[in-house]
């Protein structure tokens, strides 16, 4: 349920009203709605702004739900349709009604904004993933602009001012038989799932959003965003971290400078990368700067689902590359290795990653792919095997049963 917040006081023209609360009537109405939803209400997510968080808490109170409201920046501050601060200037220059008209129309990408149609699909994909496995009503409290623009693109309707949601008016989404059903007022549409795929447009849209929130779209560096972060397009869940690969030392320095200027804190250095923490995101800058082109960089990954990347060039220029094995992995729902493992000395870490991806995505970890890794391991000398085990212990994120398998095979 994508629902507009409850009643607030008048919002002055051109202002966002970060601290504008809902009124006493707003509290009462949201609490009453929560009571009507009752035990069917399973979770509550909200834009971080005060009025949406208050609305979420009132819904929970009314329903007797003992859970906290989860803050979600895709719902506001900035919201899925905004990528950086230029959006504020766009709103100030055009006014709310004109911005809404252009977001609904979706023909042009406004300064500071995301491409509207892919952003709308991504938001619904994200909401459905958050609700996965827990039947019931999941409330996502947001603002009129997000409800209107999202429904315009999911319904394929040019929604006007009269179609903007009232306070506490909602749109609904649910999955059935491989389709996504979308309902708002008297309109209903059925969209084929998944709503988001590994298309170049969706890959670039995701990259722009994440880069804008970290190093900024105005970063003067050339770099590649590549690797496992793009699993978000499949899962709808936020990425664990972002790997930004610089093709030169100069580009790497510019990336690090951009992160520090935005308040990022350096993390303890790892053997191959320097990490930074920025809000709820981890950004990792690999220490090596070669190769200097995206295609060769992707060839050095181990999994097809990791061999996805976007090249950023100064001036908000983007180019996506998606390895064919990434598409094959998705269509077959199997985690596949690249045909040539460039970093074969790290193949035990590749095995851990293969199993982890399979668990996260609900895909198969093919025995034939695991056998490829064990064949590489068995063919090495005792000293080389010991070195491979040490690399695994240093670089693997989780175990996934690999350590036990190593112990059995080395007896």
- The answer, yes or no, to whether the previous bond of 35 is cis (omega within 30 of 0) is no
Find out whether 49 and 18 touch, Cβ atoms under 8 Å: yes
CA atoms within 13 Å, Cβ hemisphere of 393: 10
Q: What whole-number distance in Å separates Cα of residue 286 and Cα of residue 292?
A: 13
Find out whether 220 and 254 touch, Cβ atoms under 8 Å: yes
Best CA proximity match to 103, nearest among 143, 146, 55, 46: 146
**Crossing angle for the helix pair 144-155 and 116-131, nearest 10 degrees?**
100
- Encode pLDDT of 255-281 as tens digits: 999 999 999 999 998 878 999 999 889
Best CA proximity match to 56, nearest among 136, 129, 127, 141: 141
Best CA proximity match to 151, nearest among 137, 163, 139: 163
pLDDT value at residue 411: 64
Give backbone dihedrals phi and psi of 122, rounded to 5 degrees, phi first.
-65, -40
pLDDT value at residue 292: 94
Q: What separation in angstroms does the CA of 285 have from each of 38, 239, 331, 351?
A: 47, 16, 31, 23
- Encode pLDDT of 369-387 as tens digits: 999 999 999 999 999 999 9
pLDDT value at residue 407: 86
Q: Label residue 382 exposed, middle or buried (CB < 10 Å: 0-12, 13-18, 19+).
A: exposed
**What are the residue ranges in the chain where pLDDT is below 50?**
none
Best CA proximity match to 167, nearest among 25, 359, 346, 270: 25
Helix (H) or strand (E) run with residue 179 in it: strand 179-184
> What is the reported pTM?
0.88
pLDDT value at residue 409: 82
Q: What whole-number distance in Å separates Cα of residue 153 and Cα of residue 184?
A: 12
Helix, strand, coil % over all residues of the chain, rounded to 5: 45, 20, 35
């Amino acid at each position: 349920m994508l629902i507009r917040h409850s009643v607030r006081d008048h919002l002055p023209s051109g202002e966002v009203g970060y601290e504008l609360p809902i009124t006493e009537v707003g509290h009462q109405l949201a609490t009453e709605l929560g009571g009507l939803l009752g035990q069917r209400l399973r979770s509550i997510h909200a834009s971080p702004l005060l009025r949406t968080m208050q609305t979420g808490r009132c819904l929970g109170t009314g329903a007797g739900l003992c859970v906290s409201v989860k803050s979600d920046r895709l719902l506001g501050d900035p919201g899925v349709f905004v990528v950086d601060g230029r959006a504020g200037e766009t709103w100030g220059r055009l006014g709310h009604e004109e911005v809404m008209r252009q977001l609904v129309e979706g023909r042009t990408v406004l300064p500071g904004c995301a491409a509207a149609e892919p952003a709308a699909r991504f938001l619904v994909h994200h909401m459905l993933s958050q609700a996965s496995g827990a039947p019931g009503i999941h409330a996502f409290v947001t603002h009129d602009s997000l409800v209107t623009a999202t429904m315009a693109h999911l319904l394929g309707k040019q929604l006007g001012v009269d179609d903007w949601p009232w306070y506490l008016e909602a749109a609904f989404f649910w999955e059935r038989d491989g389709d996504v059903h979308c309902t708002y007022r008297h309109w209903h549409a059925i969209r084929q799932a998944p709503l988001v795929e590994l298309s170049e447009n969706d890959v670039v849209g995701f990259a722009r959003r994440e880069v804008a929130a970290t190093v900024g779209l105005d970063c003067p560096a050339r770099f590649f965003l590549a690797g496992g972060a793009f699993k978000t397009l499949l899962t709808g869940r936020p990425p664990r971290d972002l790997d930004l690969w610089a093709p030169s030392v100069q580009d790497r320095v510019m990336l690090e400078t951009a992160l520090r200027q935005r308040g990022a804190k350096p993390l303890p250095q790892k053997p191959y990368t320097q990490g930074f923490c920025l809000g709820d995101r981890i950004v990792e800058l690999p220490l090596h700067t070669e190769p200097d082109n995206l295609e060769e960089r992707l060839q050095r990954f181990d999994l097809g689902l990791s061999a996805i990347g976007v090249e950023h060039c100064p001036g908000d220029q983007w180019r996506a590359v998606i390895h064919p094995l990434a598409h094959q992995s998705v269509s077959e729902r199997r985690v596949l290795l690249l045909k040539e493992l460039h970093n074969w000395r790290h193949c035990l870490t590749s095995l851990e990653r293969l199993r982890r991806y399979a668990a996260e995505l609900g895909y198969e970890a093919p025995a034939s792919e695991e056998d490829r890794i064990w064949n590489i391991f068995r063919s090495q000398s005792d000293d080389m095997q010991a070195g491979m085990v040490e690399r695994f212990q240093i670089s693997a994120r989780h175990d996934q049963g690999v350590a036990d398998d190593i112990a059995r095979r080395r007896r």
